[in-house]
């Protein structure tokens, strides 16, 4: 017996020495290829670009990964406990590697021949997520163990847990618990219930296959397993467990949560951010503060949508978007399948007409509601004939629709649904502050999902009579007065530029003889505008009008310019009119005010030209230049070197404190 004990001790000692030697040799072989875990101290998580209004309301998020970093102090205790219970019960006890877990995994592998039990700790998962691939090889597993041990020596447990909970993939492009809470429940992480915390903690095992959206039953089983583990470990009592395990899960996909709608603006900002920051804009956690006023933007959205729909309805009802046979479609699943190709557009919900009577129609909407539309809710729907005519007002609902029709309905402020239709026409709106060029609101079309074409910047239309004030302004500069007389009489031109004989007329098709400029302007007299342009000279007018911010090459070199035949964007027209509004100063439209990085540092900002009554004594910002002295926009990225500039300073440029006054300072800033 003594001999057996002695040989057993020798065997254990030799095995231990050999094992330690093997581990040491393995470490020496692999160590040169192991990454430096010191980088975890300065890790930068990939956070998407976020776009805000000037009053800090979110309007858009751009990035491949949705991530909302949350500090460990701001995470609810039940969320942290749920992950520990589900992934690594001995997290606060082991040194990065749980030898008990590895032993269980090895025994299971030896018995079954399959890798049925995972032995990875939270620290190992962190090492794999940051430094390694997900390939299932023994070499990767050994590297993972060594890295976990190194990480535990560099970071404390809470730092490791914080990195893990912000890094881990949890399905639906959500990385980290902050993004997962928003994606699945539309909440911030500190608003989650115990059951919801457990559901999110259930996701790391197989986030793409087992989650509450794609496979709710399997996800519920995994959630209840996590809750059971929390009960066993003493994190929750029996009462909380029962309450949580019986809570129905109401997860569904929540898109990026914007506080107000401004998709055309957000897309413009995205393009500018990429130009300024490169592709890092998508991952660097930058915040862009725009000049948009969320209140005015909301009003602009409503004005465009309502205006287009009312205009469209005044021309009559063009009928159902489609018609299907509903004889064999008797369930809500059948109805939803029929409505699936039709998406909501600008609040107009697609619906399937189920039943029709003389005074009422029963409609199943794509959002799952069944609503009743009365004849009064569709009284406007006289049949469309052509752009100038429509039919008689309908006398019954049956005159308008039939069972199987696909129609549109809108919920109004009084709580009633009414018949609607998608407008065929389009419109756009831009609101510009004439004092500094800030864009306050911008709507590029009826609905961004229907058409991403931005009519404010990309669309070019003939402005027509709205261009005439620029012609009159040029005439006043040339020496005409508002009392000058110009003959409003017929005129015929043989113009090679126009390729035909041109006989312009007034809208009224009447002629009024000698007319003062102020009268001609108020009544938009075409013939006066043409004679005025011919009198001052086309080239002079083109040169003068370009001072309003227009490109000279865009202005026609013929008399049709007087009637607004140039093809101009709405933004350029708004810029030109801002000169009239502010007393004669050209301002440059601005959309981005500042760009802030993840650390809260400003990396880019614009310094707009500002018009003020007493800039020299009250403002340290740059005054706008008059139209006659047009300048380029004053952009000043913060990270460029200022360089040296020779500047002549006289006694009149000095203030009482001996330093240069604001006016000279502004001049110097512009020189820089």
- Give one DSSP letter per residue of 97-130, joined into a string: S-HHHHHHHHHHHHHHSS--S----HHHHHHHHH
Asked if 80 and 151 sit in the same domain, the reply is yes
Asked if 28 and 72 sit in the same domain, the reply is no
Token pair belonging to 636: 């000043």
pLDDT at 395: 92
Residue 306: closest CA among 348, 339, 361, 252:
348
- Give percent of the chain above pLDDT 70: 81
Asked if 175 and 78 sit in the same domain, the reply is yes
Among the residue ranges 31-40, 117-126, 477-486, 608-617, the one predicted with the least confidence is 31-40
Residue 284: closest CA among 599, 602, 57:
599
pLDDT at 498: 57
**390 belongs to a structural domain:** yes
- Residue 331 per-residue DSSP state: S
Give how many domains the chain has, as a whole number: 5
At 103, the pLDDT band (50, 70, 90 cuts) reads low
pLDDT at 15: 62
Residues 6+ apart with CB under 8 A from 476: 482
**40 belongs to a structural domain:** no
Residue 352 pairs with which residues in a beta bridge? 364, 406
Mean pLDDT of 197-220: 90
**175 belongs to a structural domain:** yes
**Is 90 exceeded by the pLDDT of residue 96?**
no
How many residues make up the chain in this entry? 672
Residue 444: closest CA among 262, 259, 274:
262
pLDDT at 114: 57
Query: What confidence tens digit (pLDDT) does each residue in 364-395 have?
Result: 999 889 999 999 999 999 999 998 899 999 99
**179 belongs to a structural domain:** yes
- The 3-state DSSP class for residue 150 equals helix
pLDDT at 636: 34
At 244, the pLDDT band (50, 70, 90 cuts) reads very high
Asked if 193 and 103 sit in the same domain, the reply is yes
At 112, the pLDDT band (50, 70, 90 cuts) reads low
At 259, the pLDDT band (50, 70, 90 cuts) reads confident
Among the residue ranges 23-27, 454-458, 577-581, the one predicted with the least confidence is 23-27
Among the residue ranges 5-14, 67-76, 153-162, the one predicted with the least confidence is 5-14
Asked if 76 and 199 sit in the same domain, the reply is yes
Q: Which residue has the higher pLDDT, 427 or 632?
A: 427
**Is 50 exceeded by the pLDDT of residue 639?**
no
pLDDT at 37: 60
Can 152 be counted among the known catalytic residues? Answer: no
pLDDT at 330: 82
Q: Which residue has the higher pLDDT, 153 or 463?
A: 463
Residues 6+ apart with CB under 8 A from 291: 54, 433, 438, 439, 440, 590, 591, 592, 593
Q: Which residue has the higher pLDDT, 239 or 622?
A: 239
Backbone φ, ψ for residue 207 (5° rounding): -60, -30
d(CA 62, CA 281): 9
Assign residue 634 a region: left if phi > 0, alpha if psi is -120 to 50, beta otherwise?
beta
Asked if 167 and 213 sit in the same domain, the reply is yes
pLDDT at 46: 78
- Residue 317 per-residue DSSP state: B
Given 53, 87, 120, 261, the catalytic residue: 87
pLDDT at 311: 95
Site of tokens 């959002």: 367
**28 belongs to a structural domain:** yes
**476 belongs to a structural domain:** yes
Mean pLDDT of 25-52: 65
Asked if 97 and 175 sit in the same domain, the reply is yes
d(CA 81, CA 85): 6
**204 belongs to a structural domain:** yes
Residue 293: closest CA among 171, 432, 177, 420:
432
d(CA 405, CA 395): 19
Among the residue ranges 83-87, 253-257, 281-285, 651-655, the one predicted with the least confidence is 651-655
pLDDT at 663: 53
**Is 50 exceeded by the pLDDT of residue 49?**
yes
Of the segments 13-22, 35-44, 227-236, which one has the largest average pLDDT value? 227-236
At 413, the pLDDT band (50, 70, 90 cuts) reads confident
Q: What is the CATH number of the domain that holds 226?
A: 1.10.3810.10
Packing angle of the helix pair 122-131, 157-167 (nearest 10 deg) = 50
Given 188, 465, 466, 484, the catalytic residue: 465
d(CA 126, CA 42): 15
Averaged pLDDT score across all residues of the chain: 84
Residue 487 pairs with which residues in a beta bridge? 514
Can you list the alpha helix ranges (DSSP code H) found in 233-363?
Answer: 238-245, 263-277, 294-314, 332-339
Residue 606: closest CA among 360, 338, 240, 276:
276
Query: What confidence tens digit (pLDDT) does each residue in 289-320 have?
Result: 999 999 999 999 999 999 999 999 999 999 99
- Residue 90 per-residue DSSP state: T
Of the segments 142-151, 206-215, 551-560, 653-662, which one has the largest average pLDDT value? 551-560
pLDDT at 631: 37
Asked if 71 and 23 sit in the same domain, the reply is no
Query: What confidence tens digit (pLDDT) does each residue in 533-560 have?
Result: 999 999 999 999 999 999 999 999 999 9
Among the residue ranges 301-310, 583-592, 616-625, the one predicted with the least confidence is 616-625
Residues 6+ apart with CB under 8 A from 5: none
How many Cα atoms occupy the beta-carbon half-sphere of 99 within 13 Å?
4
Can 465 be counted among the known catalytic residues? Answer: yes
Our measurement of the distance from residue 671's CA atom to the centroid of its chain's CA atoms, rounded to an integer in Å, reads 36
Among the residue ranges 171-185, 438-452, 493-507, the one predicted with the least confidence is 493-507
Among the residue ranges 491-505, 528-542, 571-585, the one predicted with the least confidence is 491-505
Q: Do residues 596 and 562 lie in contact, with contact meaning Cβ atoms separated by under 8 Å? A: no
Q: What is the Rg, in whole angstroms, of the alpha carbon atoms belonging to the chain?
A: 35
SS (H, E, C) 420-459: ECCCCCCCCEEEECCCCCEEEEEECCCCCCCCCCCCCCCC
**122 belongs to a structural domain:** yes
Asked if 28 and 74 sit in the same domain, the reply is no
pLDDT at 322: 94
**Is 60 exceeded by the pLDDT of residue 642?**
no
Q: What is the CATH number of the domain that holds 401?
A: 2.40.50.140
Instruction: Report how far apart, in Å, the C-alpha atoms of 131 and of each of 38, 39, 78, 586 are.
Output: 12, 10, 28, 54
**Is 90 exceeded by the pLDDT of residue 527?**
yes
Exposed/middle/buried for residue 312 (C-beta within 10 Å: 0-12, 13-18, 19+) = buried
Q: Which residue has the higher pLDDT, 499 or 161?
A: 161
Residue 384 pairs with which residues in a beta bridge? 390
- The 3-state DSSP class for residue 87 equals helix
- Residue 151 burial (CB count, 10 A): 21
Among the residue ranges 58-72, 187-201, 473-487, the one predicted with the least confidence is 58-72
Number of H helices, E strands in the chain: 20, 19
At 138, the pLDDT band (50, 70, 90 cuts) reads low
Largest CA distance in the chain: 134
Of the segments 131-140, 213-222, 334-343, 567-576, which one has the largest average pLDDT value? 567-576
pLDDT at 618: 44
Asked if 108 and 162 sit in the same domain, the reply is yes
Asked if 222 and 370 sit in the same domain, the reply is no
d(CA 97, CA 117): 15
d(CA 382, CA 398): 12
Asked if 128 and 238 sit in the same domain, the reply is yes
Assign residue 524 a region: left if phi > 0, alpha if psi is -120 to 50, beta otherwise?
left
Mean pLDDT of 32-53: 71
Domain, as residue range, for 8: 1-33
Among 193, 211, 245, give the residue marking a domain's end: 245
pLDDT at 5: 76
Among 538, 553, 568, give the residue marking a domain's end: 568
The helix (run of H) or strand (run of E) holding residue 386 is strand 384-386
Among 229, 245, 261, give the residue marking a domain's end: 245
Q: What is the CATH number of the domain that holds 530?
A: 3.40.710.10
pLDDT at 110: 55
At 66, the pLDDT band (50, 70, 90 cuts) reads confident
**Is 50 exceeded by the pLDDT of residue 619?**
no
Q: Do residues 26 and 142 lie in contact, with contact meaning Cβ atoms separated by under 8 Å? A: yes
Among the residue ranges 37-51, 147-161, 615-629, the one predicted with the least confidence is 615-629
């Amino acid at each position: 017996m003594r001999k057996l004990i002695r040989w057993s001790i020798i065997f254990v000692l030799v095995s231990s020495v050999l094992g330690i030697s093997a581990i040491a040799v393995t470490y020496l072989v692999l160590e040169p290829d192991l990454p430096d875990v010191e980088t975890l101290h300065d890790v930068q998580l990939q956070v998407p670009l976020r776009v805000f209004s000037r009053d800090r309301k979110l309007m858009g998020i751009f990035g491949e990964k949705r991530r909302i970093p949350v500090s460990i102090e701001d995470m609810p205790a039940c969320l942290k406990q749920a992950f520990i219970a589900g992934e690594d019960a001995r997290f606060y006890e082991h040194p990065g590697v749980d030898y008990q877990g590895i032993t269980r995994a090895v025994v299971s592998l030896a018995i079954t021949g399959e890798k049925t039990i995972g032995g990875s700790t939270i620290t190992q998962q962190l090492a794999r997520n940051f430094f390694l691939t997900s390939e299932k090889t023994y070499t990767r597993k050994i590297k993972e163990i060594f890295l976990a041990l190194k990480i535990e020596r560099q970071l404390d447990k809470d730092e490791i847990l914080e990195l893990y909970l912000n890094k881990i993939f949890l399905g639906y492009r959500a990385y980290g618990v902050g993004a997962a809470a928003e994606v699945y429940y539309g909440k911030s992480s500190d608003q989650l219930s115990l059951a919801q915390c457990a559901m999110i903690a259930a996701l790391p095992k197989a986030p793409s296959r087992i989650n509450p959206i794609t496979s709710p039953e399997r996800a519920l089983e995994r959630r209840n397993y996590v809750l059971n583990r929390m009960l066993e470990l003493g994190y929750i009592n029996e009462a909380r467990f029962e309450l949580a395990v019986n809570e129905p899960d109401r997860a569904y996909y929540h898109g990026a949560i914007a506080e107000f709608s401004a998709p055309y603006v957000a897309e413009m900002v995205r393009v500018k951010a990429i130009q300024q920051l490169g592709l890092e804009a998508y991952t660097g956690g930058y915040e862009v503060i725009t000049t948009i006023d969320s209140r005015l933007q909301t009003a602009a959205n409503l004005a465009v949508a309502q205006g287009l729909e009312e205009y469209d309805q005044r021309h009559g009802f063009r009928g159902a978007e489609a018609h299907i046979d509903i004889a064999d479609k008797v369930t809500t699943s059948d109805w939803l399948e029929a409505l699936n190709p039709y998406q909501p557009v600008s609040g107009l919900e697609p619906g399937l007409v189920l039943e029709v009577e003389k005074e009422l129609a029963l409609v199943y909407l794509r959002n799952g509601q069944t609503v009743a539309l009365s004849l009064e809710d569709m009284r406007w729907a006289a049949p469309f004939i052509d752009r100038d005519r429509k039919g008689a007002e309908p006398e019954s609902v049956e005159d308008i629709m039939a069972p199987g029709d696909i129609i549109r309905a809108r919920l109004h402020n009084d709580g009633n649904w009414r018949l609607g239709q998608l407008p065929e026409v389009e419109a756009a709106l831009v609101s510009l502050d004439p004092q500094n060029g800030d864009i306050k609101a911008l709507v590029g079309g009826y609905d961004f999902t229907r058409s991403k074409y931005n009519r404010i910047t990309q669309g070019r239309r003939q402005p027509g009579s709205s261009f005439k004030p620029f012609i009159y302004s040029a005439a006043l500069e040339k020496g005409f007065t508002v009392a000058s007389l110009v003959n409003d009489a017929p005129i015929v031109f043989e113009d090679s530029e126009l390729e035909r004989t041109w006989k312009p007329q007034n809208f009224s098709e009447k002629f009024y003889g000698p007319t003062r400029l102020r009268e001609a302007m108020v009544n938009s007299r075409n013939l006066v505008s043409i004679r005025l342009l011919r009198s001052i000279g086309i080239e002079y007018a083109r040169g003068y009008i370009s001072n309003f911010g227009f490109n000279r090459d865009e202005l026609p070199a013929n008399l049709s310019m007087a009637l607004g035949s140039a093809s101009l964007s709405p933004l350029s027209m708004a810029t030109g009119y801002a000169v009239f509004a502010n007393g004669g100063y050209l301002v440059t439209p601005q959309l981005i005010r500042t760009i802030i990085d993840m650390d809260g540092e400003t990396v880019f900002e614009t310094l707009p030209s500002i018009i003020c009554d007493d800039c020299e004594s009250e403002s340290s910002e740059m005054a706008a230049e008059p139209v006659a002295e047009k300048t380029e926009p004053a952009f000043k990225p913060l990270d460029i070197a200022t360089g040296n500039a020779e500047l002549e300073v006289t006694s009149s440029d000095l203030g009482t404190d001996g330093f240069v006054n604001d006016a000279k300072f502004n001049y110097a800033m512009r020189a820089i």
